[in-house]
Chains A and B, each alone.
Chain A
């Protein structure tokens, strides 16, 4: 048996109040793709931060190529040949791809950066990856997929032997994911070990060789992929059997509630018209960049629309800002919780309060007792795991953050709720709870617009599906239960 490329043994790491890792072990062989699975908060990210030198383990050993090493800083880990590509990329937005790749390892000649040589090497790297990236524009102008490629090129540039990818497919279209897999297969051929973290089980079956599952900071299973089934994985992750990924509901769809007519904004949204009915979940799908998020942002007043009428229960609404939309009874759960949904540095109670303060205050004074009681009710009904109401939102896992955002809007008793990628970056258990909640809302006669890039979610949850492409609605599937992924994909690339 060959020496493992990487051997992490009994890694322990605790933060104030939380034991994140309780003795986790993991090994990676050359040319292998190891899938790291687990619910949010299971310790995957912490483990990878220990590997990347961003956190220091309290106990445990790390050996690279059989030699024990100590990672105190990201530089140490990089020198040992480890590259971690985090979900939020580590690129300087204002620098070009080339400058980012060689940041900290500039090719110099007599103390001066040799741009020509850097460019040549960058071009070689991208050729190896089989892609073309404009080397002259700042990285912020590149697409998410392109930025990811820059990260991979950066890892290759310092000859990393171990590459960690944390949720690399989260923001990619299915086509881009395919290309990413081709690149990973090529990396394998060169003997590079890849640790792949994803919540999308389908992808793991496509690309992984072996699976390690974490739960509550411990290993709960490590097996070759061939010995694992989908339900195995879910069972290991959540520690219980999930009968169904999508809960059933009895639908009782009523008359049209929200009517959107001729919504336009530049080239992003071109003449979008649709209605949502009482007790209905309407899915808005399509490829990333099709204009789905842009459409709901216009509807919510977050961006200014060029034209378009919005009616609720037949009454024309004058929506000029999110404030107007909220007053009319529309709520938006944004796709980007960290930047748009929550104030991470503030407590969960304060976050809950913000959209509800006009209701919760008298003569400008916040009724704090009432606020606490009301939030307390949501904490228990939504099973939000927080040690106290004063816990900072930034310290919660994705699933719990999403539940806090949900509580914000549920407390407003909105008639129409817009869920933009409601389960992105959320583990299986919390996903199920959010689905149950959506079912309960429509059962109460609310209307839901759901944007999702995950096909199974669209097919499993929606009553009706609208497909968008390049800012237009290119198709409607009236009975989502009979739809197929192929049918949707065809409309999405139309």
Chain B
């Protein structure tokens, strides 16, 4: 499976190979050293950039670097060509001179700089410098890689629970609906009980925990139906899928719940740990824990045993019912968590969330090499499966594949990945 993922990454890297202009801090660093090399340590500089996040960061950072190294920065322009002209006029009329105009690649092409010798003769013919562009795949840009991880976080987290359920020999179709239910509940609790847009961190946390726990209760109900009444998991969770989705619409009254403070997006969009998105950090931590659980702990071994041969496990003293209950509750709790993350990413709660997600989650598990007949499967396989799906989707977005075509391709790739795995294992 890992091989498929690597091949896909290689393919999309080649397909999205293109001209890259550095921005932000990295560009500033590069340009600062270029200026120092060409103009010594005390050049007279004008910095020009557009009013955009990356460009603006570039401008500020470059200014700071040049000033520390002893350069004289006459002005920093963040805006339009008109602003650049005003700055040039001002410098020129105050009788100052310029050695360098440091621009972003876009700004360097502005007409205002096309004929400085004639337009501003007093400036002593400054040179225009811009960060060196280079060729690099769009797919492999750090921002895009993190974006892939962030996009898949919800599916990957839910797939942890799904892997456990499938290893026990069951299936959980209710996770997609639980995403919606959890998102709606979290939104409702924040709006109605935690003070809406003025909610505190503690209030929001409690609201989310409550929403996740309610999903856990639904998982416990499914587990009870499956273990006590021996109703097939497919049917129980199919029913709960309808119930969960219906409840979400009822509670939300068909609306989207958006009365939520801005700080709520911390979980879904924030990045407070070495630039990694928080949802991705959470996903990695959960995978680590699940891997330890499944490979090192008694409970994990019981999960495999129950799926491998339920009767043999029972006759060996495995508490089969409790093990199954655990799997379904874990799956539901993780689906609830997925719903909260999604609400945070979109800063609202709606009953339309998570539609069809159960299928993507199951696809991730299956592509990851877990057998639907139970007893076999690996957590890291599931993570690779989820990433494979994310890479396909992201890669097709970057290569401008139409969304309907994407669906067709995704379906075929899932089938192909599983087929390849079967062939490699000689079945």
A477 CB contacts on chain B under 8 angstroms: none
What's the nearest-Cβ distance from chain A to residue B293, in Å?
A: 9
Query: Is the CB of B299 closer than 8 A to any CB of chain A?
Result: yes
What's the nearest-Cβ distance from chain A to residue B323, in Å?
A: 11
Query: Is the CB of B141 closer than 8 A to any CB of chain A?
Result: no
Give A326-345 as 1s and 0s: 1 = Cβ < 8 Å from B's Cβ atoms.
11000010100001111111
A366 CB contacts on chain B under 8 angstroms: 296-298, 301
Given B298, B302, B308, B312, which contacts A341 in the complex, CB threshold below 8 Å? B312
Quick check: B304 and A346 within 8 Å, CB to CB?
yes
Query: Is the CB of A308 closer than 8 A to any CB of chain B?
Result: no
Bound form: Cα–Cα A387–B312 in Å: 24
Bound form: Cα–Cα A354–B317 in Å: 8
Given A326, A345, A364, which contacts B376 in the complex, CB threshold below 8 Å? A345
Quick check: A345 and B375 within 8 Å, CB to CB?
yes
- A300 with B305, Cβ < 8 A, contacts A364-B298, A365-B298 known: no
Quick check: A344 and B315 within 8 Å, CB to CB?
no
Quick check: B311 and A340 within 8 Å, CB to CB?
yes
B313 CB contacts on chain A under 8 angstroms: 343, 354
B319 CB contacts on chain A under 8 angstroms: 323
Query: Is the CB of B316 closer than 8 A to any CB of chain A?
Result: yes
Quick check: B305 and A354 within 8 Å, CB to CB?
yes
Quick check: A343 and B315 within 8 Å, CB to CB?
no
Bound form: Cα–Cα A205–B302 in Å: 47
Name B301-336 residues within 8 Å CB distance of A. 301-302, 304-305, 308-309, 311-319
Give B347-383 as 1s and 0s: 1 = Cβ < 8 Å from A's Cβ atoms.
0000000000000000000000000000110000000
**Which among A136-144, A258-266, A355-363 touches the partner chain?**
A355-363
B315 CB contacts on chain A under 8 angstroms: 300, 302, 322, 332, 334, 340-341
Give B155-198 as 1s and 0s: 1 = Cβ < 8 Å from A's Cβ atoms.
00000000000000000000000000000000000000000000
Given A302, A346, A357, A364, which contacts B314 in the complex, CB threshold below 8 Å? A302
Interface size on A, residues (CB 8 A): 29
Query: Is the CB of A222 closer than 8 A to any CB of chain B?
Result: no
Bound form: Cα–Cα A364–B302 in Å: 11
Closest chain A residue, CB of each to CB of B296: A365
Bound form: Cα–Cα A342–B316 in Å: 9
B304 CB contacts on chain A under 8 angstroms: 343, 346, 350
What's the nearest-Cβ distance from chain A to residue B355, in Å?
A: 35
- A343 with B302, Cβ < 8 A, contacts A322-B317, A332-B315 known: no
The listed residue with most A CB atoms (<10 A of its CB), out of B301, B319, B375, is B301
A334 CB contacts on chain B under 8 angstroms: 315
Name B72-130 residues within 8 Å CB distance of A. none
Query: Is the CB of A353 closer than 8 A to any CB of chain B?
Result: yes
B302 CB contacts on chain A under 8 angstroms: 354, 357
A332 CB contacts on chain B under 8 angstroms: 315
Quick check: A343 and B301 within 8 Å, CB to CB?
no
Given B308, B311, B316, B317, which contacts A345 in the complex, CB threshold below 8 Å? B308
Bound form: Cα–Cα A342–B310 in Å: 10
B298 CB contacts on chain A under 8 angstroms: 357-358, 361, 364-366
Closest chain A residue, CB of each to CB of B304: A346
Given A300, A322, A346, which contacts B375 in the complex, CB threshold below 8 Å? A346
Quick check: A322 and B314 within 8 Å, CB to CB?
yes
Quick check: A343 and B308 within 8 Å, CB to CB?
yes
Quick check: B309 and A342 within 8 Å, CB to CB?
yes
What's the nearest-Cβ distance from chain B to residue A32, in Å?
A: 38
Quick check: B375 and A343 within 8 Å, CB to CB?
yes
Quick check: A339 and B297 within 8 Å, CB to CB?
no
Bound form: Cα–Cα A460–B315 in Å: 28
The listed residue with most B CB atoms (<10 A of its CB), out of A327, A340, A342, is A340
B297 CB contacts on chain A under 8 angstroms: 361, 364-366
Q: CB within 8 Å of B: which residues of A?
A: 300, 302, 321-323, 326-327, 332, 334, 339-346, 350, 353-355, 357-358, 361, 364-366, 368, 408
Other A-B pairs, 8, CB within 8 Å; known A341-B312, A364-B298: A353-B301, A354-B302, A354-B317, A355-B317, A357-B298, A357-B302, A358-B317, A366-B298
The 7 A-B pairs with the shortest beta carbon distances in the complex, nearest first, are: A343-B308, A326-B317, A355-B316, A343-B309, A361-B298, A354-B316, A323-B317
Complex A-B: 26 CB contacts under 8 Å: A300-B315, A302-B314, A322-B314, A323-B317, A323-B319, A326-B317, A327-B317, A332-B315, A340-B311, A341-B312, A343-B308, A343-B309, A345-B375, A346-B305, A350-B301, A350-B304, A353-B301, A354-B312, A354-B313, A354-B316, A355-B318, A364-B298, A365-B296, A366-B297, A366-B301, A368-B296
